[in-house]
Structure formats: C-alpha cells, structure tokens
C-alpha cells in the first residue's frame, strides 16, 4: 500500500514509485497493488498539469458512491491524463462529478473510444481546438474589443439570445480590414497536443470534424494545418479532416 500523499507530484514519476504491480486499486487515501483490471466503466482525468492532488480530491467522491477503481499506469505520451478502470458505471457518480467544482476535468464513461476501429471526433473550435474566441481576437485587432466584450457579457447574463449577440458583435466589426482575418489565422493558438491528436486519429482511420461559427478564419487555418477539409451540409459551418 502507498499513501496518495506520498506520491511524487508528477504522474510520470509514479511507475517507479509504485513499481511491481501492474495496477493499483484506489481507496480513499491510498493505492493498493492489484493484478485484476476493472473494465466495466472508466474515469478519465485531464488537466493542464495533472498531479497526485487530483487523485486525492477524487478518491473521497468515489468512496461516497461506492465505485471501485483501479489506476492504470500513466502513459509517457499522456502527461495531462490519468485513466482509472471502474467496477461499474454509476449515473449518480457521473452527475455528481458534473456538479462538483473540481480543479480538473473528469469524465465517467461507460465505454472508451478505441483506435482499433474507425471513429469520429467532433469538437468545437473556439476555446476547444484553439485557446481563444476568434471573434474576440478579431474585435481586439479591429479596435472594438471592449464593445464586443460587453455584448458577450450581456449574452452570458441572459440579457441577449445567442443569435442576437452574434449579430450585434459581428455588426461592430463593420468596416474592419479583411486582413485582420489573415493575421488571426497566421497566429492561431492551437491547444497543446491537438496536432498530435489529429494526426494519430487520421492514421487510425478516424475522421475529425471541427464545428465553427460563421467566421471563416478558423476553418481556413485548420485546412492549412491538416489539409483539405470539405464542408458538411449543416446549419453551422463544419470542416472535416480525413
């Protein structure tokens, strides 16, 4: 048995600290060596810097819901992810995790995607595939950043419908040089690891689709990075990497 509090901060150092057993059962404050995998459901922990503190924060939640879990060895290439197998899928646990203000992202899944067969990944563009909101960056370069931010704030407070807020924000960009779009596209701040993710999925026969609003700058930049991305006939603008 190893106390969670004694683990090195970085999961990349855990295999050496845990040495011996292929898996480790998680209790409320410790890890126990095990050779029996749990694969009835899964917990995926992600964060900008996953640490032992994240595991310690999750353990009491699992204990309250009486879900048994085992920790799989952290993969060297996945520095921001921890994978735990579960003895069952618990809708109550899934709901509880969504409600809790944990300092990291955690998903309770009944099944895991696999690269052994083709699949589809669909993700939003702004603040998901990239680290910014495109319209905010365009507005900043156009000199109307504060005005656009005020409209965004009103929408977030429920004072404006999304469609109205989008129209109002775009209207504030009237007369802005079209070259701003090229400037934003040329310095697109992709999320860390996104390029590796897309390339890995494509090699495994997956399709990757990115949903974007009406502004073309993000999909155009995607095409430059990952090749032809034909449009899909939906009410949104989509771009797909194949």
pLDDT block averages, 10 residues each, the chain of length 242: 88 80 89 92 87 89 95 75 94 93 89 90 85 88 93 85 88 91 85 85 89 60 53 42 50
- Total domains in the chain come to 3
Which pLDDT score, from 0 to 100, does residue 64 have? 94
Query: What pLDDT score was predicted for residue 232?
Result: 40
Position 211 scores a pLDDT of 78
Residues 123 and 139 in one domain: no
What is the reported pLDDT for 145? 93
Quick one: 83 and 169 in the same domain?
Answer: no
| pTM confidence score | 0.69
Range of the domain at 158: 135-181
Strands of 81-86's sheet in order across: 2-3, 30-34, 23-26, 69-71, 81-86, 41-46, 105-109
Q: What is the DSSP letter of 127?
A: I
Please check whether residues 94 and 40 belong to one and the same domain.
Answer: yes
Tokens of 92: 């109550």
CATH of the domain at 163: 1.10.150.210
């Amino acid at each position: 048995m190893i106390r969670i509090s004694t683990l090195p901060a970085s999961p990349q150092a855990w295999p050496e600290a845990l040495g011996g057993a292929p898996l480790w059962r998680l209790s409320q404050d410790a890890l126990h060596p095990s050779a029996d995998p749990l694969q009835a459901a899964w917990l995926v922990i992600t964060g900008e810097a996953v640490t032992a503190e994240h595991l310690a924060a999750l353990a009491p939640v699992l204990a309250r819901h009486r879900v048994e879990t085992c920790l799989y060895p952290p993969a060297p290439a996945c520095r921001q992810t921890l994978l735990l197998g579960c003895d069952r899928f618990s809708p109550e646990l899934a709901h509880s995790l969504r409600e809790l203000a944990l300092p990291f992202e955690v998903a309770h899944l009944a099944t895991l995607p696999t690269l052994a067969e083709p699949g589809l990944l669909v993700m939003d563009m702004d603040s998901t595939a990239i680290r910014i909101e495109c319209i905010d960056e365009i507005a900043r370069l156009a000199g109307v950043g504060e005005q656009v931010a005020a409209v965004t704030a009103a929408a977030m407070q429920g004072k404006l419908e999304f469609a109205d807020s989008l129209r109002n924000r775009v209207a504030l960009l009237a007369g802005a040089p079209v070259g701003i779009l090229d400037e934003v596209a040329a310095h697109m701040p992709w999320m860390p690891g996104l390029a590796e993710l897309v390339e890995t999925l494509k090699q495994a026969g997956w399709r990757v689709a990115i949903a974007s609003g009406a502004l073309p700058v993000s999909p155009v930049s995607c095409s430059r990075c990952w090749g032809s991305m034909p449009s899909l006939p939906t009410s949104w603008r989509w771009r797909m990497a194949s």
